A and B are shown apart, each in its own frame.
Chain A
């Protein structure tokens, strides 16, 4: 006889296997995880596939088990993340998430004082350079330094008058640990929240932060990888 519990479990395992394979094959994994944890999806896909095959091979049983209501609820819960992704397939972290998380980096935590890189400074480097003179000097960040940044528009309450925030999330393991870094852009224009912009210009020190005085601001499509690492 067919064991309904094994059939149900095999079904859920197949759903998750397919989802993990989809994440890796399409590159959609970048939406959810940082590169240092991509391996968990590969590992998960392999073990889930093996578990699915084992369950599928054993669906015929002399003692089939009924699927209780509690089990049915549990199995439904297990597939809800996949259902959520199907319902909202292109979810992104935007201004709302930046506002929720922003206070965590209000003070700015500079890492080790870096060597000059010779390239344009990044969001985090501009952020740290604003509050740390030694860091800024070592990196060569000063008034007039050229920058080219791509990020989304935010309007945090601490934005100086006539500026808006250009923000990018840095991810360590997954989107839950994303930390937003915001650089203020002084172009005087009203910009739509969450719009992705490419801003080129120069830095100008204003108090304890650098702002970007733009030469050119272009609206662009969201990048395929929305995070920095």
Chain B
């Protein structure tokens, strides 16, 4: 038995031990090959790492909140919450996003935990999608970006209203299943023994590693798209509101920007109508390249595809309505 245990330990530790020299060799080969002088590689690495450096602390923040919910909030609280009608939970959760000042990476682990603990899945989705749009930091940065064009208040109001409407619509359309049917199983269950601080640390690490790898992969995908595709591909279609809005939704997906910064980029898309810029601001925090991987790892049943089928028409209709209202 002791021999078997020893063999198992050796088997599991060996790849870990091999990984370090393997990665070191990779670094040495890249340096020897002069990869740092290849501009495409430089651009990719800089955009990739800057996305990850900015996003990982928000994943940590989300994991902190998520672990706190799991370990310190009593079951009875969630039982009471789960008994509330979905019609109440849904808008309440969407508006609750106002109190959670993080961008989209942080809201996913929290929503996952809320659904796992018994919140109605529709409400969990509504919270997850609304929080990165309607939180005060994002709305303030939107106001700052557009105040110079005299549209600060309009853009803030439009973004908040459309964000909440989209979050509720998506929650209602996608959240009809039971929580355990909707969420993917974790490949490594967290130990449920030990003291509360130890359980908190285990849950924090579990969520961080579960979500973090998909943020890294999503950041790589976004960087690849930013490096390979010139944005001039979409400026030719800028003039018509419908095509312009669809084009900027595509750009938002590719760029995968933090919702706290995206308004400063959106305001630079001056060839596009204001409604198309609004579509960029509402769609980007809901569906982008890095989020697509994160959602895929968190939810089952083609969640991303189903979310896109809701988000595109709602965002498009909302942005056209917004443009008509602003230009009236």
Q: Is B76 part of the contact surface with A, judged by Cβ < 8 Å?
A: no
- Given A80-B216, A90-B36, A112-B232 contact (CB < 8 Å): no
Give the number of A-B contacts (CB < 8 Å). Answer: 233
**Interface pair A176/B268, CB less than 8 Å apart:** no
Among A5, A93, A97, find the residue whose CB has the most chain B CB atoms closer than 10 A. Answer: A97
List the A side residues contacting B208 at CB < 8 Å.
51
Q: Is A220 part of the contact surface with B, judged by Cβ < 8 Å?
A: no
CA distance A102 to B318 in the complex (A): 28
CA distance A40 to B39 in the complex (A): 28
CA distance A122 to B219 in the complex (A): 31
- Given A40-B57, A81-B53, A95-B39, A176-B16 contact (CB < 8 Å): no
Nearest CB of chain A from residue B188's CB, rounded to whole Å: 6
| Residues 107-130 of A at the B interface (beta carbon under 8 Å) | 107-112
**Interface pair A81/B52, CB less than 8 Å apart:** yes
- Given A13-B205, A176-B47, A58-B198 contact (CB < 8 Å): yes
Nearest CB of chain A from residue B99's CB, rounded to whole Å: 19
List the B side residues contacting A197 at CB < 8 Å.
none
Residue of B nearest to A31 (CB): B46
- Given A51-B201, A112-B147, A176-B256, A103-B235 contact (CB < 8 Å): yes
| Residues 28-70 of A at the B interface (beta carbon under 8 Å) | 31-33, 37, 40-41, 43-44, 47-48, 51, 54-55, 58, 61, 63-70
**Interface pair A100/B230, CB less than 8 Å apart:** yes
**Interface pair A77/B217, CB less than 8 Å apart:** yes
Q: Is A8 part of the contact surface with B, judged by Cβ < 8 Å?
A: yes
| Residues 255-272 of B at the A interface (beta carbon under 8 Å) | 255-258, 260-262, 264-265, 267-271
**Interface pair A58/B201, CB less than 8 Å apart:** yes
Nearest CB of chain A from residue B310's CB, rounded to whole Å: 26
List the B side residues contacting A51 at CB < 8 Å.
60, 201, 204-205, 208
- Given A13-B205, A173-B261, A109-B48 contact (CB < 8 Å): no
Q: Is A25 part of the contact surface with B, judged by Cβ < 8 Å?
A: no
Nearest CB of chain A from residue B270's CB, rounded to whole Å: 4
Q: Mark B83-125, 1 if CB is under 8 A from A, else 0.
A: 0000000000000000000000000000000000000000000
Residue of B nearest to A19 (CB): B53
CA distance A78 to B267 in the complex (A): 33
- Decide if the interface of chain A is mainly helix, strand, loop or mixed: helix
**Interface pair B53/A23, CB less than 8 Å apart:** yes
Nearest CB of chain B from residue A45's CB, rounded to whole Å: 9
Among A4, A13, A85, A88, find the residue whose CB has the most chain B CB atoms closer than 10 A. Answer: A88
Q: Mark B35-74, 1 if CB is under 8 A from A, else 0.
A: 1100111110111111111101110110010000000000
**Interface pair B232/A103, CB less than 8 Å apart:** yes
Q: Is B19 part of the contact surface with A, judged by Cβ < 8 Å?
A: yes
Instruction: Report which of B23, B61, B198, B257 forms a contact with A83, defined as CB distance below 8 A.
Output: B23
**Interface pair A174/B51, CB less than 8 Å apart:** yes
**Interface pair A76/B265, CB less than 8 Å apart:** no
Chain-A contact segment, one of B6-14, B163-171, B173-181, B300-308: B6-14
Q: Is B160 part of the contact surface with A, judged by Cβ < 8 Å?
A: no
Q: Is A9 part of the contact surface with B, judged by Cβ < 8 Å?
A: yes
**Interface pair A40/B58, CB less than 8 Å apart:** yes
Add 9 more A-B contacts to A32-B53, A88-B45 (CB < 8 A): A40-B57, A41-B53, A44-B56, A51-B204, A77-B213, A77-B216, A107-B270, A174-B258, A177-B261
**Chain B positions near chain A (C-beta within 8 angstroms):** 5, 8-9, 11-13, 15-16, 19, 23, 26-27, 30-31, 35-36, 39-43, 45-54, 56-58, 60-61, 64, 147-149, 187-188, 191, 197-198, 201-202, 204-205, 208-209, 212-213, 216-217, 219-220, 222-223, 226-227, 229-232, 235, 255-258, 260-262, 264-265, 267-271
